Amino acid sequence: MNVISIEAQNLISGFYSVTKIPATQNTKNSFFTTSSFVQCHGWVPFKTHNCFASLSLKSIKQKIEPKTSVEKSGDTVSDKEGIKTTKKKKLAVFVSGGGSNFKAIHETCVAGSVHGEVVVLVTNKRGCGGAEYARNMGIPVILFPRAKDELDGLSSSDLVAALRRFEVHYILLAGYLKLLPVELIRAYPKSIVNIHPSLLPAFGGKGYYGMKVHKAVIASGARYSGATIHFVDEKYDTGKILAQRIVPVLPNDSAEDLAARVLQEEHKLYVEVTAALCEERIVWREDGVPLIQSKQNPTV
Ligand SMILES: Nc1nc2c(c(=O)[nH]1)N[C@@H](CN(C=O)c1ccc(C(=O)N[C@@H](CCC(=O)O)C(=O)O)cc1)CN2
Ligand SMILES: NCC(=O)N[C@@H]1O[C@H](COP(=O)([O-])[O-])[C@@H](O)[C@H]1O
């Protein structure tokens, strides 16, 4: 029986290899100029366990929507020798805090190991570390949502319009603490992911964010925790899980100790997932579960 091994290098959830996605490089950076439709008042708007599972080739093929290896015409550019390459995917990152996941993603995009470009940062906290970093990097910052007592910030429809204007392909939530509106979720189907600092579905949902998550994990006596990246739906943390990384919870861990251990894995996980998104290596199983195609071991 032919077997394709499902490899999850340092991940729990499934990588598997079917068809490789050729992909490389590059468009020039484009910077956003102020535009009348984005009124932002002075804002520039405008792992650790290898695990293997095996499914029969037949069952995988039946369950996986065939992935064409032909790039969509609009996604490719040709250099002067006529060599076709794929354009970088345009990314919007949403933060509310320090933005260490955002920085890890941005740095790997700039280094070229992730075939993407962060074209805009969205935050609800104008002074947060992530917004500061973005401004220092010349990345446009958008305030969303508009706070009740403030004039700054965009409405949901203006935000969708702004992201369209930036030609955003994927939205990456990285410590963003507000509920995304259904309007945005419907505008970007299967294109919005979030990172959560526990092994969902445990310790997720309303009220579970930041240190609150780690405190709850320790108080529960759980022996393992970790990071989860999932697709975003209309409720907090209930979208389809795409990838996870696991860490041990040690007997004398403080919430801060655990947070630091999980955060290290988050950075690796988010970079791996963003690379897979940008190389179009996400496929959807028949039952609606998303899988990451392994780059190392494509089917022959
Ligand atoms: N539509 C969605 N929006 C968001 C999701 C999601 O899955 N679907 N994920 C969150 C991120 N998140 C966990 O990963 C999360 C963020 C915030 C909360 C929460 O309880 N927030 C508080 C307000 C906190 C504050 O404003 O300081 C609340 O809503 O009362 C839970 C989970 C991002 N958006
Ligand atoms: N429920 C959402 C949530 O708790 N997200 C968490 O916020 C932190 C942001 O850190 P960062 O700003 O340094 O990337 C990360 O640990 C992320 O998992």
User: What CATH number is given to the structural domain containing 201?
Assistant: 3.40.50.170
**Residue 130 maps to a domain:** yes
Predicted-assembly ipTM surpassing the 0.95 threshold: yes
Contact yes or no for 266/210 (Cβ under 8 A): no
CA distance 237 to 128: 23
**Residue 113 forms part of a structural domain:** yes
Q: Which residues line ligand 1 (CB under 6 A)?
A: 173, 176-180, 185, 194, 196, 206-209, 232, 234, 236-237, 239
Section 177-206 average pLDDT: 98
Distance in angstroms (rounded) separating the CA atoms of residues 262 and 280 = 26
Does residue 176 form part of some domain?
yes
167 inside domain: yes
Asked if residue 47 is part of any domain, the answer here is: no
Could you give the number of structural domains in the chain?
Answer: 1
Residue 164 lies in a domain: yes
Ligand nearest 260 Cα, by number?
A: 2
Question: Looking at the DSSP assignment, which residues form a beta bridge with residue 86?
Answer: 76
| Most ligand 1 atoms within 8 A of CB, residue of 95, 102, 178, 241 to mutate | 178
Tokens describing residue 267: 């950075």
Region 167-189: mean pLDDT is: 98
Q: For residue 63, what pLDDT is reported?
A: 54
Considering the entire predicted model, what is its pTM? 0.81
Q: Which atom of ligand 1 is nearest to the CA of 237?
A: 7
- 11 domain-assigned: no
* pLDDT interval class at 297 (50, 70, 90): low
Least confident of 40-49, 120-129, 142-151: 40-49
Listed residue (222, 204, 228) closest to 12, CA to CA: 228
- With respect to residue 68, please indicate whether it lies within any of the assigned structural domains: no
In this structure, are residues 65 and 284 in contact, taking their beta carbons and an 8 Å threshold? Answer: yes
Active site residues: 196
| pLDDT of residue 96 exceeding 90 | yes
Domain span at 171 = 89-292
Neighbours of 30 (CB within 10 A): 11
How does residue 146 score in pLDDT terms, banded at 50, 70 and 90? confident
